[in-house]
């Protein structure tokens, strides 16, 4: 592939590239990021916010969700309880953890902000690379985030996001290490968010689901439509569900969201051994129109709940955990049907084809 392709292009940046840049205006001003272009997919990685993914497009069409506050850097109010709602920008991915996910709480005089502190932690040892590895042209961004406190935790998240030319997918590889000298709880949730125009009334969700649990009364009222999306509705509250998923013998599983009118799907593949929970966030509220997919190692009830029940994921001193999530775009009935068959093989109930 390499020689054949380079007969047509002397510089691969004609087809695929990574370009580091800085935002220059508004609340994002001064923030370092990377623009990644790979054929039909394009996305930006935020160097100053946990190497999370902001916008994501496919063939120029927006896939991701951007909340009303918009793209922004670290703010003084990020860790002030519910004030986090003013800085949660959505994006294709933001990472929640490592001391807390979901609701804020205060325990033994210590505050744990909404979705934790790691999502606004700037990366160190930032690097990017675009080069040939054999016959594959690989683009990658990597860095390290540290969540630490004097006399407290010392957790390090090393992240690499990569994509190969000719493939409409990205691979997220995380290594979390407890660099303190005592065992520590580690809470982690990957908040993937899909927005308009990828998200509209023709969207259907396909999961290898065993059991669905609504978070609250309003979610329970709408549990029958968790796998579809309705039109926007003014002042409609959010719905949140936890889905127990089937997996193969190695605990690998996958989920998919499909826009049936556009015949485009987004697939996620991950391992339940490390991410046993799968949450779904659904908001059809006008102006806050979004579906979120959330593989996690903890429940949606946050740190206070897990501390009371004593069922944290614990990392021993200097223990490491490695997690991978693949996100892929598929287009056309044939490609979507192939992914549906893979999901079907994980569960007992036959999925109706695309």
Instruction: Please state, in angstroms and as integers, the Cα–Cα distance from residue 146 to each residue in 50, 123, 125, 163, 199, following that order.
Output: 9, 8, 11, 25, 34
Q: Is 308 a domain residue? A: yes
The CATH code of the domain that includes 83 is 2.70.98.10
Q: Is 182 a domain residue? A: yes
Cross-strand bridge partners of residue 267: 256, 328
User: Residue 103 pLDDT more than 90?
Assistant: no
User: Residue 197 pLDDT more than 50?
Assistant: yes
Terminal-to-terminal C-alpha distance of the chain: 33
Q: Is 351 a domain residue? A: no
Cross-strand bridge partners of residue 316: none
pLDDT band with cut points at 50, 70 and 90 for residue 354: very low
Average pLDDT for 121-130: 97
Range of the domain at 26: 2-344
The number of beta carbons lying within 10 Å of the beta carbon of residue 34 is: 23
2-50: pLDDT as tens digits: 999 999 999 999 999 999 999 999 889 999 999 999 999 999 999 999 9
Q: Is 280 a domain residue? A: yes
The torsion angles phi and psi of 282, rounded to 5 degrees, stand at -130, 120
Average pLDDT for 88-93: 89
Q: Is 214 a domain residue? A: yes
The share of the chain scoring above pLDDT 90, in percent, equals 81
Q: pTM of the entire structure? A: 0.94
Mean pLDDT of the chain: 93
Q: Is 39 a domain residue? A: yes
The domain total for the chain is 1
Closest CA to 191 of 320, 334, 294: 294
Q: How many residues comprise the chain?
A: 354
Alpha carbons within 13 angstroms on the beta-carbon side of residue 135 total: 6
Helix (H, G, I), strand (E, B) or coil at 323: strand
Q: Is 32 a domain residue? A: yes
Say if CB 72 and CB 33 are below 8 A apart: no
User: Residue 353 pLDDT more than 50?
Assistant: no
Average pLDDT for 90-113: 86
Q: Is 285 a domain residue? A: yes
């Amino acid at each position: 592939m390499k020689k054949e392709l380079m007969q047509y292009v002397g510089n691969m940046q004609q087809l695929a590239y990574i370009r580091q840049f800085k935002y220059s205006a508004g609340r994002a001003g001064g923030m370092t990021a990377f623009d990644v272009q790979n054929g039909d997919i394009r996305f930006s990685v935020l160097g100053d916010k946990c190497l999370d993914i902001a916008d994501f497009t496919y063939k120029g069409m927006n896939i991701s969700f951007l909340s009303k506050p918009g793209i922004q850097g670290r703010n003084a109010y990020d860790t002030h309880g519910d004030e986090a709602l003013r800085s949660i920008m959505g994006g294709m991915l933001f990472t929640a953890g490592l001391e807390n996910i979901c609701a804020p709480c205060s325990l033994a005089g210590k505050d744990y902000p909404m979705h934790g502190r790691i999502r606004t932690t700037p990366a160190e040892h930032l690097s990017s690379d675009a080069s040939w590895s054999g016959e594959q042209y690989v683009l990658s961004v990597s860095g390290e985030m540290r969540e630490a406190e004097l006399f407290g935790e010392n957790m390090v998240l090393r992240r690499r996001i990569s994509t190969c030319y000719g493939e409409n997918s990205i691979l997220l590889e995380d290594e979390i290490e407890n660099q303190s000298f005592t065992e520590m709880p580690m809470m982690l949730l990957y908040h993937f968010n899909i927005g308009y125009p990828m998200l509209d009334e023709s969207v259907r969700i396909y999961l290898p689901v065993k059991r669905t649990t609504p978070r609250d009364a309003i979610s329970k009222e709408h549990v029958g439509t968790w796998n579809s999306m309705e039109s926007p509705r003014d002042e409609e509250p959010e719905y949140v569900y936890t889905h127990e998923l089937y997996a193969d013998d190695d605990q690998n599983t996958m989920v998919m969201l499909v826009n049936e009118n556009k015949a485009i799907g987004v697939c996620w593949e991950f391992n339940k051994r490390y991410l046993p929970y799968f949450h779904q966030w659904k908001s059809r509220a006008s102006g806050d129109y979004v579906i979120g997919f959330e593989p996690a190692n903890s429940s949606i009830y946050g740190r206070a709940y897990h501390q009371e029940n004593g069922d944290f994921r614990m990392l021993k001193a200097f223990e490491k955990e490695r997690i991978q999530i693949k996100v892929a775009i598929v287009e056309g009935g044939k490609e979507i049907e192939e992914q549906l068959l893979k999901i079907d093989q994980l569960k007992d109930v036959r999925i109706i084809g695309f």
